[in-house]
Amino acid sequence: MPTNKTDLLQGTLDLLILTSLEAGPSHGFGVSGVIRRYSKDALQVEQGSLYPALYRLEAEGWIRSEWGISENNRKAKFYELTATGRSQLRLETANWERMSSAINLVLDHA
Amino acid sequence: MAEEMRLHMELQAAEFRGTGMAADEAELRARLAFGHMDGIRERCRDEKGIMWVSQLVQDLGYAWRVLARSPGFTLTAVLTLALGIGVNTAIFSLVDEILVKQLPVTAPGDLLLFHWASSVDLPVPTSGRWERDPVTQQTTCTSFSLPAFEAIRMRNQALSGITAFAPISRLTVVADGQAEVVELGQLVSGSYFSVMGIAPAAGRLLEATDDSPGAPAAAMVSYGYWMRRFGGDPSVIGKQILVNRVSVAIVGVVPRRFPGSLQVGDAPDLFLPLVLARNMGAFEMIDKPDALWWVQIIGRLRAGMTSSQALIELEPVFRQSALESLKLVGAPPPKSMGDLPSLQAGPGGQGLNELRNEYRQRWEILAGLGVAILAIACANLASLLLARGAARQREMGVRLAMGAGRGRIVRQLLTESLLLAGLGGALAVPFAVWVEIGLVAMQPRAEGHTLSLVPQLDPGIFLTAAAISVFTGVVFGLVPAFRASRVNISAEFQGGTSNRTGSRSRLGKSLLAVQVALTLVLLVGAGLFAGTLRNLASVDIGFESRGLLLFDLNPNPDGSSFKSALATDNEVAERLRGVPGVASATFSRMPLLGDMGWKTRIGVVGRPPRDDGHNTTMVNFVAGSFFSTYGIPIMAGRAVDLADDARGGSVAVVNQAFVREFFGGEDPLGRTLQRPNAGNMPEFITVVGVARDASYSAVRDPAPPTIYFPYYPQASANAEATFAVRAWGDPRGLVPLIRKTVRSVNPLLPLDDLRTQQAQIGELSATERMFAWLSGVFSILAVGLVSLGLYGLMSYSVLSRQGEIGLRMALGARPAQVVWMIVCECLLVVGIGVGLGLIGAYAATRLVSSLLFGLSATDPAVFAAGGFLLLLVAIIAGWMPARRASRLDPMVALRAD
């Protein structure tokens, strides 16, 4: 159980990043763009949170990075899900659904 | 990482441009949206997980820059550390070498060194050291007779091997036509090297076959001698050399680290079989060699046996041989079996122990000195760092405000301290080597041998230095580190320095008080030793020691022809007297105050022997002009001269102490003395003269009863003598002439150990001089450090009390009162330190009371002088900051931060 707000947000951010990489490898800018678009501009991930999160996920082994060429012909670091990352994604998604349905139940009662 | 971020910004800018923004505004917006790049980079790095290495590098780099910015502090700190660590490393490495280390042989723990103990005085001739067991009051000695060794060896079951050995000194060695005197050799029995269990560095070991009569004479050389004399030439194996005129073949080289099993610091250059002892002249004036107790015995325990089992087995044969020995010298048989000496054994893994035991006290004192220095060094560094910590409060505040965690700050400060410790430790290593060499050089010569210790630069020193380094780094780094990080940020930026005098300066003050206490202990020590030296120098030794040059000759090393040897001595003396610049020359068997002695029993015909057992006198054998050369006046009768040599030992001169003790003050001239066990020396001696008292072998003791014989054959079969030359001016200028004179008598005769009488006397007080010098140097350094510390502490105190001082002055305090206030604070700290120090010194100086002479360990003058000196230092150190304080403009002071 997350004990403070930052923990909750951090865990959620991990989930969002992993989800956005599920479709395929992308660089940091692309990931933030995907999250923005899918949430219809509701969630704007700050670069200050995005990149540390990417590095953390890489340290955990859930994503891996590779240098490649971006769409405007510049060198960019592309991230993609690893196998353990995929299973972690499934785990976190299940967790999220369990938690959000539990909260909904409580809210419905009040 | 930077590139990644840059790309993100570019893409973001492109996106903004896509929405219709101008190019540069887009870029600006993109950059703003991105945020602070460095901060993000740091957090990314945090997440990356290899942070600690790069942070460590960062810390080290920053620590280096910080230290470089305050060179005064860094230099003081590093030097203090180097001093403390270096001195301790040197001292403890030497302590290990001298007191602790075992011989580099197989299983040294299994070796037993035998000795005997007796409650009564054993009237057998012994060569070696006697000691008195402080607990049982018995006389103990490690020397045994050769028949005793043989008997023990035959009987032995409990030991896997047993061997006998003995030192032999001043061997004349001729190799490749070059003659020289080898200071020390070791005679060993056939089983020696197998008992020790070592392998030769070259050639082969001496074996049992070499130690049998009639076997071709063989010898081994030490590694050092092999290098020095033969340059490590492997062809030395099989080389024939002359040792004391006996032709000997070198069969092997002893391994480098093996120093024989003699006293600590003795390293024989030659190892010879025991059977050659007689040929080498070891029994110069012993008519019955079987009666002489002169070999030391070491055995190796069999697996599973204990030393008590060995003793139970061997004691009966030892006692039997002791009985036979007594019969041989014609001594009366003991009244009961209990009067015979008992056989005992101690650990033999370090060789002979007597000198080591003597050194023990000295080295323990040195160890104490070293620890005191280290404590002062640590205390000084701690207070230095405390002061620095206080001065860097603002920096800490800024760092905390910018987001550094407390742990990070602690780590940073700790890194600084460890870097200091590392630098100090690195500097300490060459310093330690230098100190070690100095300490060894300061050791007194024992029994004429210099302490043969080669300071080893072995891993032991490195590890010790490193361990002490890290330990001191942690100890003094932690306190300021934890303190400095406990900073209240807002108070920092608002209040400034006004409210922090409390506990921090208390710690600083108590550290300083501790330093003062330790410094006082050192000062008292230095004062006591200096006083001892002064007292020793002012003792009337009874002869004129200035302007005398001494050297030794051994014209007949194998004892073959005394007559020609004595003729050589006389010839040299005659020719020396003819050398221009020489006032007089003489020779004697023993030098005066040369730490050598000859004692013998004597009685007076017509007077009963004293029943308090004091029937012995010191003896010397002297040539003509002895008394005039040494400046000993003859009070009555005449001196002995050349004509007396012919009468050989039946006339003698005695000194005043002898007259007091043996004649009760009656006139001794013409009276007859009697030797109890004369052997082949004349039994009756006529007293022909009385000389003034002169010190014999120790400055500390009053002149003992002494009898001076003319130099006759029984003095020494090989006529070895110490020559004394008195010159009109400085005798040292005559050295080349003296050498030429000796060479003109016999070109192959080596002139040994040229020294001045004063240098020889100085040797006797070498220990006291060493301690006086060391404690003097250390106390000067300590006083310097304490002064710096006091100055710093007082300066800081003035700084932090600026407001208070300003207030006082505004309320009417005069400058003198302000000065007095500050100086009082200083005096209080030092006063407490002096108080502690007096107690500490009182306790500590008891340890050295046996070394003192002419003053007690609690000499009030020395204690008072030390205390006053420190109080004076306190006043001086506090004076300048105090004057600064008194010059403060109250308005400025009140408004200061």
Report which of residues B315 and B170 the model is more confident about. B315
Q: Which stretch, B246-255, B408-417, B453-462, B472-481, has highest mean pLDDT? A: B246-255
| pLDDT number for residue B49 | 61
Lowest mean pLDDT among A25-39, B196-210, B465-479, B766-780: B465-479
Q: What secondary structure letter does DSSP report for B705?
A: P
Name the band, by pLDDT with cuts 50, 70 and 90, for residue B835.
very high
| pLDDT number for residue B219 | 93
Q: Check CB contact under 8 Å for A47 and B36.
A: no
Mean of the pLDDT values across residues B328-337?
76
Mean of the pLDDT values across residues B326-340?
77
Same domain, B433 and B317: no
Same domain, B631 and B755: yes
Q: Where are the beta strands (DSSP E) in B630-775?
A: 634-637, 651-655, 672-674, 684-691, 706-710, 721-727, 752-756
Where among B287, B322, B349 does a domain terminate? B349
Residues of A in contact with B32 (CB under 8 A): none
Q: Identify residue B749 by its one-letter amino acid code.
A: L
Least CB–CB distance from A74: residue in B10, B33, B47: B10
Is a pLDDT exceeding 50 seen at residue B448?
no
Name the band, by pLDDT with cuts 50, 70 and 90, for residue A3.
very low
Is a pLDDT exceeding 50 seen at residue A4?
no
Same domain, B185 and B322: yes
Same domain, B666 and B806: no
β-pairing, B270-273 vs B218-221, is antiparallel
Q: Which residue of B has its CA nearest to A74?
A: B7
Mean of the pLDDT values across residues B314-338?
83
> Quick one: angle between helices B354-391 and B71-95, nearest 10?
160
| pLDDT number for residue B497 | 47
Mean of the pLDDT values across residues A83-104?
90
Q: Check CB contact under 8 Å for B11 and A51.
A: no
Contact B796, B882 (CB under 8 A): no
φ, ψ (nearest 5 deg) of residue B455: -60, 120
| pLDDT number for residue B642 | 66
Q: Check CB contact under 8 Å for A27 and B44.
A: no
Lowest mean pLDDT among B489-498, B652-661, B680-689: B489-498
Where among B760, B776, B810 does a domain terminate? B760
Same domain, B446 and B522: no
Report which of residues B610 and A56 the model is more confident about. A56
| Cα–Cα distance measured from residue B33 to residue B699, given in angstroms and rounded to the nearest whole number | 92
| pLDDT number for residue B559 | 56
Give the gap in angstroms from C-alpha B793 to the nearest C-alpha of chain A: 47
Same domain, B13 and B23: yes
Name the band, by pLDDT with cuts 50, 70 and 90, for residue B149.
very high
Contact B294, B325 (CB under 8 A): no
Tell me which residue has tokens 């060995």: B310
Q: Check CB contact under 8 Å for A75 and B7.
A: yes
Give the gap in angstroms from C-alpha A28 to the nearest C-alpha of chain B: 7
Q: Check CB contact under 8 Å for B4 and A74.
A: no
Domain count, chain B: 5
Residues of A in contact with B4 (CB under 8 A): 27-28, 51, 76-77
| pLDDT number for residue B836 | 92
Mean of the pLDDT values across residues B436-444?
77
| pLDDT number for residue B498 | 45
User: What's the predicted TM-score (pTM) here?
Assistant: 0.71
pLDDT one-digit tens code per residue, B374-399: 888 878 877 777 777 666 777 777 77
> Quick one: angle between helices B766-800 and B71-95, nearest 10?
150
Residues of B in contact with A75 (CB under 8 A): 3, 7
**Optimal mutation site among A55, A57, A58, A78, interface B, most CBs of chain B within 10 A:** A55
Same domain, B112 and B245: yes
Q: Identify residue B184 by its one-letter amino acid code.
A: L
Residues of A in contact with B8 (CB under 8 A): 27-29, 47
**Optimal mutation site among A51, A57, A74, interface B, most CBs of chain B within 10 A:** A51
| pLDDT number for residue B499 | 45
Lowest mean pLDDT among A55-69, B162-176, B407-421, B441-455: B441-455
| pLDDT number for residue B611 | 65
Least CB–CB distance from B44: residue in A29, A55, A70: A55
Percentage of chain B modeled with pLDDT above 90: 15
Give the gap in angstroms from C-alpha A52 to the nearest C-alpha of chain B: 4
Under 8 Å CB-to-CB from B335, ≥6 apart: which residues?
none
Percentage of chain B modeled with pLDDT above 70: 87
Is a pLDDT exceeding 70 seen at residue B120?
yes
| pLDDT number for residue B809 | 84
Residues of B in contact with A70 (CB under 8 A): 7, 11
**Optimal mutation site among A6, A35, A41, A47, interface B, most CBs of chain B within 10 A:** A47
pLDDT one-digit tens code per residue, B614-670: 678 888 888 888 999 999 999 989 888 766 666 666 888 999 999 988 888 788 888
Name the band, by pLDDT with cuts 50, 70 and 90, for residue B350.
confident
β-pairing, A75-81 vs A63-69, is antiparallel
Name the band, by pLDDT with cuts 50, 70 and 90, for residue A1.
very low
Lowest mean pLDDT among B90-94, B482-486, B573-577: B482-486
Q: Which domain holds residue B717?
A: 548-760
φ, ψ (nearest 5 deg) of residue B725: -120, 125
Please enumerate residues of A whose Cβ is less than 8 A from a Cβ of B: 27-29, 46-48, 51-56, 58-59, 70, 72, 74-77
Residues of B in contact with A48 (CB under 8 A): 35-36, 39-40, 43
pLDDT one-digit tens code per residue, B561-618: 777 778 888 888 999 998 888 899 999 988 888 877 777 778 888 777 766 666 788 8
| pLDDT number for residue B746 | 82
| Cα–Cα distance measured from residue B468 to residue B470, given in angstroms and rounded to the nearest whole number | 6
**Optimal mutation site among B3, B11, B12, B48, interface A, most CBs of chain A within 10 A:** B11
Is a pLDDT exceeding 90 seen at residue B187?
yes
Q: Which residue of A has its CA nearest to B51?
A: A59
Q: Check CB contact under 8 Å for A29 and B7.
A: yes
Q: Check CB contact under 8 Å for B11 and A70.
A: yes
Same domain, B803 and B820: yes
Tell me which residue has tokens 């070499």: B210
Q: Check CB contact under 8 Å for A76 and B12.
A: no
| pLDDT number for residue B23 | 76
Please enumerate residues of B whose Cβ is less than 8 A from a Cβ of A: 3-5, 7-8, 10-12, 14, 33-36, 39-40, 43-49
| Cα–Cα distance measured from residue B181 to residue B718, given in angstroms and rounded to the nearest whole number | 14
Mean of the pLDDT values across residues B355-380?
82
CB pairs under 8 A between A and B: 54
Q: Check CB contact under 8 Å for B10 and A46.
A: no
Q: Check CB contact under 8 Å for A72 and B47.
A: no
Least CB–CB distance from A29: residue in B3, B12, B46: B12
Lowest mean pLDDT among A62-66, B24-28, B317-321, B874-878: B24-28
Same domain, B808 and B862: yes
Helices assigned H by DSSP within B548-641? 562-578, 626-630
Least CB–CB distance from A27: residue in B7, B14, B46: B7
Give the gap in angstroms from C-alpha A70 to the nearest C-alpha of chain B: 9
Q: Check CB contact under 8 Å for A29 and B34.
A: no
Same domain, B475 and B510: no
Listed by start position, the domains of chain A span 5-105
Mean of the pLDDT values across residues B801-807?
81
Q: Rounded mean pLDDT of chain B?
A: 82
Q: Which residue of B has its CA nearest to A52?
A: B44
Same domain, B676 and B802: no
pLDDT one-digit tens code per residue, B815-827: 888 888 888 888 8
Structure tokens at B441: 């050089």
Is a pLDDT exceeding 90 seen at residue B26?
no
**ipTM entry:** 0.71
Contact B493, B746 (CB under 8 A): no
Give the gap in angstroms from C-alpha A101 to the nearest C-alpha of chain B: 32
Same domain, B776 and B723: no
Q: Check CB contact under 8 Å for B35 and A52.
A: no
Q: Where are the beta strands (DSSP E) in B176-213?
A: 178-188, 202-203
Return the CATH fold of A5-105. Arc Repressor Mutant, subunit A (1.10.10)
Q: Identify residue B647 by its one-letter amino acid code.
A: R
